[in-house]
Amino acid sequence: MGASSSTQQHPPSEQSEVESLAASTGALPLLQNAFSKLAHPQTSTLPLQSLQQCFSLNYDNLICETPKVADSFRVLLDNLGPSIADLFFVPEKGGLSWIEFLRGFVKCCGRMPASMLLNTLLRVFATTFARAGLTLKLEFESGDADCKISGFLRPIDVLMIFWMCWTMWWDARTRKFSKGKEEIFQPDVNHLVLSAVESCAEVGSDVNFWDCNISDLEIQLPVGKFLTWTLTTVPSLTDCFTQFVYARLQSCVTSENPSEISTSSFGDISSTKAQDTHLLSPGRAWTISLTFRSSISEEFLKLCCPVDGEEAEENLLYRGLNRFWSNIEGYHGPLLILVSANSGDASDHETSARKWIIGALTQQGFENKDVFYGSSGNLYAISPTFHVFLPSGKEKNFVYSHLHPSGRVYEPHPKPVGIAFGGTMGNERIFIDEDFARVTVRHHAVDRTYQHGSLIPHQGFLPVESLILEIEVWGIGGRSAKQMQMSYKKREELFTEQRRKVDLKKFASWEDSPEKMMMDMMSDPNAVRREDR
């Protein structure tokens, strides 16, 4: 490896130790190839400028719904790559030696506790801010990853952090695809920013979550509270940074000219923008993915960045207010159901500004049962603020989905007909009636299955009953679950078609035909039939 011929000598034990740390991440072969590709052939050291170029982002077009914020964010992106290189990869003299290169990688992407990774991400953000000439009220006690951070963040700072993480994730995910269009789409993540505001702001901060502009909010969020909120709400946020570093170093290895790393877009970016018309927009799907540290996160990420619109649409099992069961029947995999509704009286013209979205994730498909069932699941407040409510472990009333009985059977105590999540029979945490016309959201005190918290801003103790605007059900079980459902539907269609066919040749005469029987019943329904004798 290049370390043996480096002009800077290091003790063999130090090299062995840092290589062991790098190997624990599984990236040692990648680092060896990247160093060989980027190192100067004569000095066997890696010029810092080459590494800065490797991490640089060069998007020509920034698609953003907030032009006022876009200008500042574009400056941040221009300084992100050099900031990463300058912060972690520090040469003693001249270029980076093999040991210094490994040491820098371990500092930013090594195996460490989640809190240290989050501190590292904030340090990258603060360094980029300073390099861009912007003001940020954060102070780090030392250069260690586990040092104490003091100060506060504004809501606009939090928005910039989320957009920076989205950009790094997007770049890491799309770098291997077409390089024809160098543009980046910034999704709407206001629900995530307002969640941080609601959870971290000092007592007394009164925010109208339905009518506020993030860039105009002058609220101070203590960084300590923000760190705690991030670790509990979006624990996978730091993966965006580590994946970006991995992907960029991989690009250096595969690129013919390492000094010209191109930033690319994923096919047609309009496919991602088109998803904004759904309740599960790219920003909301990305936010939900950040709540997981499991394989299901990948299924949500696919919805953020589809190859084309059809790939996302095939996972949308249901959208509307009718034919629910026929669309979700036969799907045996995780399902995400989203419900949008209005607060207040339906005749009130102001309710359009108080729209909210809640959701529930099940680990299995819906079944027609008159009891609660399920093995796990999550509840979500999606909009205007985001919160996730994990299983509490106290009860297992995850899902309830019950249709009217097919036969006319008398029931002295009929079970509720509809769909519910959490709570108990008659006191469900979320209940959707059989007509999909109304949704009832109750206080978390009735529920021992999911964690406590408000699904709607300013939700009181009394039940909230609202008119449903729209419902979506998304299949999160991957392609195999969708293919199994398609096979199930084909079988059901075949059976239905066979049952509809009647072979009239089996009837010997008109007297025995079903047509004659029906006409006789209509003419004299009280006449004695052969089958009644």
What secondary structure letter does DSSP report for 446? Answer: G
Q: What confidence tens digit (pLDDT) does each residue in 398-423 have?
A: 999 988 766 556 667 778 899 999 99
- Give Rg (Cα) of the chain: 29
Distance CA 533, CA 57 (A): 87
Which residues, 6 or more positions from 330, have their beta carbon under 8 angstroms from its beta carbon?
365, 484, 485, 488, 489, 492
Give SS3 for 112: coil
3-class secondary structure for 163-214?
A: HHHHHHHHHHHHCCCCCCCCEEECCCCHHHHHHHHHHHCCCCCCCCCCCCCH
Nearest one of 407, 436, 263 to 338, comparing CA atoms: 436
Structure-block tokens of residue 323: 């034919």
Contact 470, 340 (CB under 8 A): yes
Contact 363, 377 (CB under 8 A): yes
Q: pLDDT tens string for the chain (533 positions)? A: 444 444 455 567 888 999 999 999 999 999 999 999 988 888 889 988 989 999 988 877 777 766 667 778 888 999 999 999 999 998 888 889 999 999 999 999 999 999 999 999 999 999 999 999 988 999 999 888 888 999 999 999 999 999 999 999 998 888 754 444 467 888 899 999 999 999 998 865 678 888 888 888 889 999 999 999 999 999 999 999 999 999 999 988 886 554 444 444 444 455 555 556 889 999 999 999 999 988 899 999 888 876 555 566 788 998 876 678 888 888 999 999 999 998 765 444 454 558 999 999 999 889 888 899 999 999 999 999 999 999 999 999 999 998 876 655 666 777 889 999 999 999 999 999 988 889 999 999 999 999 999 999 888 899 999 999 999 999 998 888 888 888 888 888 888 777 776 555 555 566 666 666 777 766 665 555 544 44
Structure-block tokens of residue 38: 């980027």
What secondary structure letter does DSSP report for 263? Answer: P
Residue with structure tokens 């990305």? 286
Phi, psi of 383 (to 5 degrees): -150, 145
Contact 397, 442 (CB under 8 A): no
3-class secondary structure for 363-425?
A: CCCCCCCCCCECCCEEEEEEECCCEEECECCCCCCCEEEECCCCCCCCCCCCCCCEEEEEEEC
What secondary structure letter does DSSP report for 96? Answer: B
* pLDDT of res. 275: 58
Residue type for position 74: R
Distance CA 331, CA 347 (A): 38
Omega before residue 384 within 30° of 0, cis: yes
- C-alpha separations of 400 from 299, 422, 443, 464, 533 in Å: 24, 8, 18, 19, 45
Distance CA 422, CA 413 (A): 21
Structure-block tokens of residue 325: 């069961």
Which residues, 6 or more positions from 240, have their beta carbon under 8 angstroms from its beta carbon?
165, 166, 168, 169, 172
pTM for this entry: 0.85
* pLDDT of res. 512: 64
- Report CA 492 to chain centroid distance, whole Å: 33
CB atoms within 10 A of CB 85: 21
* pLDDT of res. 406: 62
Contact 189, 289 (CB under 8 A): no
Q: What confidence tens digit (pLDDT) does each residue in 160-190 have?
A: 999 999 999 998 888 754 444 467 888 899 9
Give SS3 for 23: helix
What secondary structure letter does DSSP report for 91? Answer: -
* pLDDT of res. 351: 46
Nearest one of 110, 146, 69, 137 to 241, comparing CA atoms: 110
Structure-block tokens of residue 51: 């590494």
- C-alpha separations of 93 from 4, 15, 82, 373 in Å: 17, 18, 18, 64
Nearest one of 440, 422, 427, 328 to 373, comparing CA atoms: 422
End-to-end CA separation in angstroms for the chain: 97
